[in-house]
Amino acid sequence: MTPADSGPEGTRPPPTRRRPGGRTARIRQQVLDAVVAELGEHGYDGLTTDAVAARAGVHRATVYRRWGDVGGLLADVLDAASDDDWQPPDTGSLESDLAALNQEIYAALTAQPPIMAALIAASFRSEKAAQAQQRLWEDRYARCEIIVSRAVRHGELPPRTDARQLLIAATAPLYHQLVLLRATPDPQLPGHAARTAALAAAAGSFAEPPSARDA
């Protein structure tokens, strides 16, 4: 998910982090924009704090003092993505919601330069980035659970459908094809993956069995 999102209906919304404003916020945005640009152009191996500082137009000491190293820069880029107000699609049906979500992911994964793919790759090289990537995934999945809860409420899905399992099943084919296999982009992929997951979910594939207390 681009990407990610909003908290599921009836649950606590994701926590928001307070960020400084004014000049500090401007410098942070300049630096994060520079990280994204450098990563897109040169990849993880070509990403340096000095290059980021030069591109952002700030003193290198500022970057070292606040972010420390490349891992700290990448982690802040990923954490910043969780501070947005993105909401998952609400199109009126489960399949079309999933298809719209997948379309956003597809667009991000096929964009040039390949920033999203580069961030995913970087998370395997930096522990700080890996932890931030995990936080971002958790935020995105939590926001997108509302797609499933709506479908249950509208009678499209059985009660006790596991939202996380369904969301993974719907979106995973995009990451597998475009990131792992580096397959040629297929515009039909987002809709096909959504349709497959929606049909499986409607048949109860992701429904949790009733507990003994429910019997």
Q: Are the C-beta atoms of residues 38 and 56 closer than 8 Å to each other?
A: no
Cα dihedral sign, 58-62-67-70 = positive
3-state secondary structure (DSSP) of residue 161: strand
Q: Is residue 161 part of a domain?
A: yes
What is the total count of domains within the chain?
1
pLDDT in tens, 8-49: 333 334 444 445 558 889 999 999 999 999 999 999 999 999
Residue 93 lies in a domain: yes
194 is a domain residue: yes
CA 1 to chain centre: 4
- Using the Cα atoms of residue 177, residue 179, residue 181 and residue 187 in order, give the sign of their dihedral: positive
CATH number of the domain bearing residue 100:
1.10.357.10
**How confident is the model at residue 214, as a pLDDT?**
55
Which regions of the chain are under pLDDT 50? 3-18, 212-213
The answer to whether position 215 is within a domain reads: no
**Does residue 213 lie in a domain region?**
no
Task: Write down the pLDDT at residue 7.
Answer: 33
Domain membership flag for residue 77:
yes
Residues of the domain holding 190: 1-13+21-208
Q: How far is it, in rounded angstroms, from Cα 12 to Cα 144?
A: 13
Determine, yes or no, domain membership for 214: no
